[in-house]
A and B are shown apart, each in its own frame.
Chain A
Amino acid sequence: MDSRRIDTGVGLGLAVLSSVIYFFAGQYTAFGVNTYGPNFFPQLLAVLLFICSGCLVFNALRGNSKAELEGFHKGGLIKVGVTLAIAVLYLFAMQLLGFVISSMMFLYLIMFALGKKQHWRIALISISVTAVVWFIFAYLLMIPMPEGIFSRSY
């Protein structure tokens, strides 16, 4: 991966971010506080971030950023995207269907997406892992797990 292009892009992005932070932080004022109020620390950090991102861009343009960046593996990146999408769907599913059903589906789908094709085996693993995790969290640690539409009303 071209580290120069990445570093320049990241540096410019951070410079914009630091300017936005500086601007917004300037609005935080409080009465009865000395000169160094709630705006001071974020603004100081924004200035430091701006300087550092400037240095990053400068180094990149001068050809000093020679660190070998890890290249993305296309197939792997797609799998990351797919699993992330499944995780986001899982969060919604958990609120609707509760922990048990959605977790079994989540584990099954992720294992399938990662290349496990033996349906019975991954179904069995999904059910048993969900059962163990539910037992530990809900029963032993007494953490209230989402029950979705199956929630008991008292």
Chain B
Amino acid sequence: MSVVYLLEAFQTILSDPSSLLFILTGVTAGIIVGCLPGLTATMGCALLIPFTFGLPPIQGLLMLMGIFTGGIYGGSISGILIRTPGTPAAAATLLDGYPMAQKGEAGKAIGIGTIASFVGGTIGALIMAFLAPQIADFGLRFGPPEFFALAVFGLTMIISISGESLLKGAIAAILGLLLTTIGYDPLSGVPRFTLENDNLLGGITFIPALIGMFGFAQVFRNIEKMEVVPQVKSKVGKILPSFKEVKPLLPTMTKSGGMGAITGSVPGLGCDVAAFVAYGEAKRTSKKPEEFGKGSHEGIAAPEAANNGATGGAMIPMLTLGVPGDAVTAVLLGALTIHGFQPGPLLFQDHPEIVYPIFAGMILCQVVLLIVGLFGARTFSRLINIDIKVLTPVIFLLCILGSYSMRFSFFDVGLALTIGVFAYFMGHFKFPVSPILLALILGPMAEQNMRRSLMLSQDDLTIFISRPISAVFLILAVVMVITSYRKYKKLQKIDNDAKQNAQKS
């Protein structure tokens, strides 16, 4: 059944040239934002969402898919050329990409990365298209207690991978959850923490918060670093690798794409973890593991296939259960909501006309990515050389306009600027920002479903553990916290031992 829907969706998109144009625009814009160091894919999506407001839903969503796909891929270009990953997902790519660039093969490295992104991304998109409807079917069995437990599970996953300090990740997540309580309480209608400001009655608007955390904060960071870090210039050679060079990489690309999709589908893991997992696996199974880190073709193919495969994977929990896989999918979830669609199992039942074009669009994005990536690599790599003192003010202006254009409100711009300043200082004090973003998505889901469950059970808290699915999610959440705490302690011990050894020697 889903194959028929998928084919219909392809027909819908391909019969309307404007849809293809929006995919092309999205992919190109995504690559541009992704390849500029200091602009992450999350920031790119946040900045470019306002451009989709005026579009019909399908076209707007197709453009967003393009931005997402292009953004993740684009990060590798600057990683290969100047050893600065445009996005965290490209951090594994530079391990072998940059050594290749030093050998004068930057173009070839970008070419291999592009083909790997296409193969991995297509596999990820196909896995998403066939797995998501099954998970959504399963999700239909969920009631309020299950959704509450799922939100808790999602949050613990995110905290556990949120950087150097679990505690700081948890604090960030709680602050994010508290932000979601501002405005009318959805169940009783009581206004909370609005400080008698009418602009806050509807709560903290998602886009300004997003642009504040990922746009303004990054702009401030770039401005501060401009003083200390000089801009690096880059050069590209021949782009297209020969078929003889690509053929032996195909099995690695296929395997890494699949692994990426599976890793990306676990809430909290995301594209960057997927890339490192695939890189490690490729090195382990490679016939030439000694070449890794010195410009191995496999070392570029594996993480690139995995991080683009993970884009499809990360969409699975977001679309089917309303739980974002990582920060970028959290942005996409917010964008879907702005376009009037609430991700979750009911989306598949109520709006198949939206879901299947998303799947088909994701696959088409990969094809467009291959074409734009191979033919435009030279142009994109020139963008890295744009004077940062010109680029930063332009991004600053786009951030201001982005936060204004949601409700045409200057209050929203002020709010985004304030959040941006907070996020900038949080970055300095090593508090991760991503948990806040995910808490903004998961907070209302957690609160509303918790209180609905307690209404159902007449205040009996055991409802959360007496229902099997909810109990499993809560147990998984506890296991997650314990294991990540142990891992954190172990890493701390290794770090301390290393420091002591260094002192002794």
> Is there an interface contact between B227 and A73, defined as CB atoms closer than 8 Å?
yes
Contacting residues, chain A, for B51 (C-beta < 8 A): 136, 141
A-contact bits for B393-410, CB 8 A (1 contact / 0 none): 110111011000100101
B-contact bits for A122-143, CB 8 A (1 contact / 0 none): 1001000100010011001111
Contacting residues, chain A, for B54 (C-beta < 8 A): 140-143
Most buried by A among B189, B430, B458: B430
A33 to B454, CA, bound (A): 11
Interface residues in A1-56 (C-beta closer than 8 Å to B)? 1, 3, 6-7, 10, 14, 21, 24-25, 28-30, 33-38, 40-42, 45-46, 48-49, 52-53, 55-56
A144 to B404, CA, bound (A): 10
How many residues of chain A get a CB closer than 8 Å to chain B's CBs?
Answer: 68
> Is there an interface contact between A41 and B458, defined as CB atoms closer than 8 Å?
no
Which of B97-105, B172-180, B206-214 forms part of the interface with chain A? B172-180
Is B171 interfacial (CB-CB < 8 Å)? yes
How many residues of chain B get a CB closer than 8 Å to chain A's CBs?
Answer: 62
> Is there an interface contact between B394 and A95, defined as CB atoms closer than 8 Å?
no
Q: Which listed residue (B170, B185, B427) contacts A28, Cβ 8 A?
A: B185
Is B224 interfacial (CB-CB < 8 Å)? yes
> Is there an interface contact between A38 and B393, defined as CB atoms closer than 8 Å?
no
> Is there an interface contact between B424 and A76, defined as CB atoms closer than 8 Å?
no
Contacting residues, chain B, for A95 (C-beta < 8 A): 410
> Is there an interface contact between B174 and A45, defined as CB atoms closer than 8 Å?
yes
A49 to B175, CA, bound (A): 8
> Is there an interface contact between A76 and B459, defined as CB atoms closer than 8 Å?
no
Which of B33-41, B130-138, B237-245, B413-421 forms part of the interface with chain A? B413-421
Contacting residues, chain B, for A76 (C-beta < 8 A): 223-228
Nearest-Cβ distance from residue A154 to partner chain B, whole angstroms: 17
> Is there an interface contact between A30 and B226, defined as CB atoms closer than 8 Å?
no
Most buried by A among B164, B428, B431: B428
> Is there an interface contact between A33 and B187, defined as CB atoms closer than 8 Å?
yes
> Who on chain A is nearest to B228 by CB?
A73
Nearest-Cβ distance from residue B284 to partner chain A, whole angstroms: 31
> Is there an interface contact between A70 and B427, defined as CB atoms closer than 8 Å?
yes
A91 to B5, CA, bound (A): 47
Is B205 interfacial (CB-CB < 8 Å)? no
Is B192 interfacial (CB-CB < 8 Å)? yes
A116 to B226, CA, bound (A): 12
> Is there an interface contact between A80 and B424, defined as CB atoms closer than 8 Å?
yes
> Is there an interface contact between A30 and B220, defined as CB atoms closer than 8 Å?
no
Q: Given A41-B181, A76-B224, are A67 and B430 neighbors across the interface (CB < 8 Å)?
A: yes
Nearest-Cβ distance from residue A28 to partner chain B, whole angstroms: 5
